[in-house]
Amino acid sequence: MNSKKKPLFRRTQGAMYRRLKGKGWRRPTGKHNKIRECKNGKGEVPRIGYGARRDQRGLHPSGLEDVLVTNISETRGIDPKTQAARIASTVGRRKKLLLLEELKKRKVRVLNPLKV
């Protein structure tokens, strides 16, 4: 959980074109581009200072480490205080229900629970 506020890095002309609206950051390259020139009020450009702290990198926004689970034997090594489980997409519905039951028993948080 990053304590400092990170701005939303908006793509150039992202509001103008619907196909670009929700897309990720692309570096502006135009000759007179105001975002590239870092003009005030035109939007922020990603820089080194916006990075997360080293101990928080790669963690889920909840602050827990993300562990991919494909079978019940992999649930035994999960620490519920520091890790959260994410069930692999290759796991079917029947096996996923068994995994959810096992993880609930162990009081492990599941990041992608089954939507019923």
**Which one-letter DSSP state was computed for residue 6?**
P
Q: State pLDDT tens for residues 67-84.
A: 999 999 999 999 999 999
Residue 39 pLDDT: 93
SS3 40: coil
Question: pLDDT-based confidence at 93, cuts 50/70/90?
Answer: very high
Domain boundaries, the chain: 12-51, 56-105
Q: State pLDDT tens for residues 9-65.
A: 989 888 899 898 878 899 999 999 999 999 999 989 999 988 888 998 889 999 999
Distances (CA, A) of 115 to 22, 96, 98, 100: 25, 11, 14, 12
Q: How far apart are CA 71 and CA 94, in angstroms?
A: 12
Q: Is the pLDDT of residue 115 over 90?
A: no
Question: pLDDT-based confidence at 66, cuts 50/70/90?
Answer: very high
Residue 60 pLDDT: 93
Q: Which residues contact 43 (CB under 8 A, 6 or more apart)?
A: 9, 10, 35
Residue 52 pLDDT: 85
pTM of the model: 0.70
Q: Which residues pair with 66 in a beta bridge?
A: 84
Q: How far apart are CA 39 and CA 44, in angstroms?
A: 9
Q: Which residues contact 45 (CB under 8 A, 6 or more apart)?
A: 9, 27, 28, 35, 36, 38
Average pLDDT over residues 90-99: 96
**Which one-letter DSSP state was computed for residue 110?**
B
